[in-house]
């Protein structure tokens, strides 16, 4: 099966697709979590996937990376079918996964074990990646000596060390305090597309719609039961993006509306109990879905 070439109005998106999935579905036993999902990322694109809690976003990312084998459908990277986990697709998980008995540098070097390179080269690469994420002074620190934000930077450095083409980010800032998360959010886009990295595109899963509008070029909406991709929305705002842009909050509202009302297979899925509407003092019409 050959991946379709998706062409869109935006000339930036007329480039060749990077990561493509067609008809992707995953079932635990007989129960499909998501089905018939189509997604395409293009070069230098930051894509987001949103959906209610439990709609299968994390499972979808794992299936894209072949960390679990999809029940149906196909994944292609640069035109080649993906059939097993590959260092070309890296993932940063929401739980900050660093090994406490290893220094920052050794945590990053772990990603290079599958590469046939000597220890000296692995050390050099891991130092370069730690430098990239702003941890050049902490290569010999252990996770217990670092803040949550620093540990997540180590995870990002490890994900980048294997020279992936696609970075999958599963709610990477959800366990960080808001200030630290904000700093990392501001850095992640330029980090992902830094010429020092091999990355061509990134896919962020998040239920923080402000984060999604801040970062994504395009947003896929998952909903329904079982879930599928029910909509795709382009975010056309200049970067760097701030809520001071009058259209920023319009996009947040649009995404919230999509999540609240999208009906799939005749079954409506509402935001889960932990999804809160947060009234912003300055703009009461503006809502945050967290």
Tell me which residue of 163, 176, 204 sits closest to 60, measured CA to CA: 204
33 interacts with, out of ligand ADP, Mg ion, none, CB within 5 to 8 A per kind = ligand ADP
Task: Point out which residues bind ligand ADP (CB under 6 A).
Answer: 28, 33, 51, 53-59
CB of 66 to Mg ion, least distance (A): 18
CA dist 165 and 201 (Å) reads 7
Q: Which residue is nearest to Mg ion (CB)?
A: 58
Q: Closest CB to ligand ADP among 163 and 260? A: 260
Select the span of 36-44, 52-60, 177-185, 189-197 touching Mg ion (CB under 5 A).
52-60
Q: Closest CB to Mg ion among 58 and 105? A: 58
Q: Closest CB to ligand ADP among 17 and 25? A: 25
197 interacts with, out of Mg ion, ligand ADP, none, CB within 5 to 8 A per kind = none
Indicate the DSSP class of residue 145: G
Q: Return the percent helix, strand and coil in the chain, to nearest 5.
A: 30, 25, 40
CB of 202 to ligand ADP, least distance (A): 17
CB of 232 to ligand ADP, least distance (A): 17
Q: Closest CB to ligand ADP among 33 and 181? A: 33
CB of 207 to Mg ion, least distance (A): 8
- Cα angle, residue 71 at apex, residues 229 and 51 outer, rounded to 5°: 25
Tell me which residue of 275, 35, 17, 57 sits closest to 172, measured CA to CA: 57
CB of 72 to ligand ADP, least distance (A): 16
56 interacts with, out of Mg ion, ligand ADP, none, CB within 5 to 8 A per kind = ligand ADP
Residue 58 sits in the site that holds Mg ion (CB under 5 A): yes
Q: Closest CB to ligand ADP among 33 and 184? A: 33
Distances (CA, A) of 245 to 214, 236, 242: 11, 11, 6
Select the span of 9-17, 19-27, 54-62, 118-126 touching Mg ion (CB under 5 A).
54-62
Tell me which residue of 115, 84, 88, 95 sits closest to 18, measured CA to CA: 88
SS3 category, 176: coil
The continuous run of DSSP H or E covering 192 comes out as helix 178-192
CB of 207 to ligand ADP, least distance (A): 8
28 interacts with, out of ligand ADP, Mg ion, none, CB within 5 to 8 A per kind = ligand ADP
CB of 58 to Mg ion, least distance (A): 3
CB of 58 to ligand ADP, least distance (A): 3
Q: Closest CB to ligand ADP among 55 and 197? A: 55
CA dist 281 and 55 (Å) reads 30
The continuous run of DSSP H or E covering 69 comes out as none
Residue 201 sits in the site that holds Mg ion (CB under 5 A): no
How many CA atoms lie less than 13 Å away from 236 in the CB half-sphere? 7
Backbone φ and ψ for 78, nearest 5 degrees, come out as 50, 40
DSSP 112-140: GTTS---HHHHHHHHHHHHHHTT-GGGTT
- Positions that interact with Mg ion (CB under 5 A): 58
């Amino acid at each position: 099966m050959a991946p379709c070439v998706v062409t869109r109005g935006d000339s930036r998106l007329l480039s060749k697709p990077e990561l493509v999935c067609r008809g992707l579905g995953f079932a635990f036993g007989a129960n499909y979590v998501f089905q018939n999902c189509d997604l395409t990322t293009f070069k230098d694109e930051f894509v987001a996937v949103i959906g209610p809690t439990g709609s299968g976003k994390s499972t979808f990312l794992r299936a894209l990376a072949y960390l679990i084998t999809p029940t149906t459908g196909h994944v292609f990277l640069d035109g080649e079918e993906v059939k097993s986990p590959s260092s070309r697709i890296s993932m940063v998980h929401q739980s900050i996964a660093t090994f406490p008995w290893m220094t920052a540098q050794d945590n990053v070097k772990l990603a290079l074990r599958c590469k046939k390179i000597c220890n000296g080269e692995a050390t050099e690469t891991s130092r370069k990646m730690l430098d990239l994420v702003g941890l050049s002074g902490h290569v010999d620190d252990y996770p217990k000596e670092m803040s949550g934000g620093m540990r997540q930077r180590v995870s990002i450095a490890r994900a980048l060390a294997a020279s992936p083409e696609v970075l999958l980010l599963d709610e990477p800032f959800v366990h960080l305090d808001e200030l630290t998360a904000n700093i990392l959010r501001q850095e992640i886009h330029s980090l992902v597309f830094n010429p020092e990295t091999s990355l061509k595109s990134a896919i962020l899963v998040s239920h923080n719609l402000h984060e999604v509008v801040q970062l994504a070029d395009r947003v896929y909406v998952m909903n329904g039961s079982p879930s599928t991709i029910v909509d795709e929305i382009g975010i056309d705002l200049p970067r760097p993006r701030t809520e001071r842009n009058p259209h920023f909050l319009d996009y947040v509202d649009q995404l919230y509306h999509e999540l609240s009302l999208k009906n799939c297979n005749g079954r409506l899925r509402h935001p889960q109990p932990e999804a809160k509407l947060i009234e912003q003092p300055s703009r009461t019409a503006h809502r945050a879905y967290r």
